[in-house]
Amino acid sequence: MFPTVNAEQLASGLKGRDFLGMADYKPEEIRYLIDLAIDLKRKQKNGELYQPLKGKTLGMIFEKSSTRTRISFEVGMYQLGGHALFLSRNDIQMGRGEPIRDTGMVMSRYLDGMIIRTFGHRNVVELARSSTVPVINALSDQSHPCQALADYQTVLEKKGRLEGLKIAYIGDGNNVAHSLMVGASKLGMHFASASPEGYEPDAEQVRLAREFASETGAKIDVLRDPREAIENADVVYTDVWASMGFEEEQKERERAFQSYQVNEALVQYAKPDYLFMHCLPAHRGEEVSEGVIDGPHSVIFDEAENRLHAQKAIMAAIM
């Protein structure tokens, strides 16, 4: 499926690029980043020093709270030889109304790269547009590409391949669902989601994914019935029912999603050797039963660890 392009050509083409979403990267570029993440993981486990970003500084703008994203980027930048600077909304003038454009233009003069974890995706786009250094989307309301890259790294490590596998996403059609879906369309995978009415993935994201799928042989299904979505799935994925920013809808969403819990009864329809994945944090007893998330098919902590390695690959490639 992937064109024959050598690693040097791919590496050269990634330098200086932003990483805002899976849609912006070609299939061979995504696969290159996944392979690089696996190689960097091997180096780190073997104690090999690899510091291509020595002397460089990453600015990290956080408008949303975080556990995995902050720690993995800070540690990753340190392991690559650089320094990470944490900037909450209250630490910088964005919190007092300074335009993102001005923030991007000024911070570009101090830094070698930036990440932003924010609510509106337009903030990510505007920061990248005004910056002269690479910008990484560390989460927006539209997409979470760093998570998806780590997820597909995990699947490749466990299954030995990506193309032709089926991933079933059960639950809220949110930013994680969008990045997984677009990523699957680029990697030649079958993506099937199941969500209650009103909580489906964004129509424009579905259109984009299907457009990419027509070129790679992937298949994109947006369904209502979780049993239909999960049938013969190689990977079963879910996320919290109320993402950050939607906490006030918790009770309403609990009612809407009550038949969408990933539990022992539902996973019987997946393949016997399915993987269970969740981007975390998880609410056991809500979107997933304890028996599934803590069971033998669960790879959630391997998946969480791979955020470190996938993000190191992105930083090393573009910075």
Neighbours of 248 (CB within 10 A): 9
Which candidate in 178, 278, 307, 309 is catalytic? 307
CA-based nearest residue to 174, from 72, 287, 285: 287
Q: What is the DSSP letter of 93?
A: G
Two tokens, residue 275: 């993987």
What lies within 8 Å, CB to CB, of 240 at 6+ separation is: 171, 172, 281, 282, 283, 286, 287
Distance CA 72, CA 90 (A): 21
Q: What is the DSSP letter of 201?
A: P
Which candidate in 144, 190, 278, 309 is catalytic? 144
Q: How does strand 135-139 pair with strand 113-117?
A: parallel
Q: Is 144 a catalytic residue?
A: yes
Residue pointed to by tokens 């944490």: 86
Which candidate in 79, 142, 147, 205 is catalytic? 147
Which candidate in 239, 253, 309, 311 is catalytic? 239
Q: How does strand 83-88 pair with strand 166-170?
A: unpaired
Rg (CA), the chain: 19
Cβ atoms of 228 and 169 closer than 8 Å: no
Q: Is 96 a catalytic residue?
A: no
170: which strand partners?
A: 194, 238
Which candidate in 31, 70, 117, 309 is catalytic? 117
Distance CA 66, CA 132 (A): 26
Distance CA 6, CA 156 (A): 20
221: which strand partners?
A: 192
Two tokens, residue 140: 């927006």
Cβ atoms of 229 and 195 closer than 8 Å: no
Which candidate in 261, 279, 309, 311 is catalytic? 279
Residue type, 218: A
Residues serving a catalytic function are 117, 144, 147, 239, 279, 307
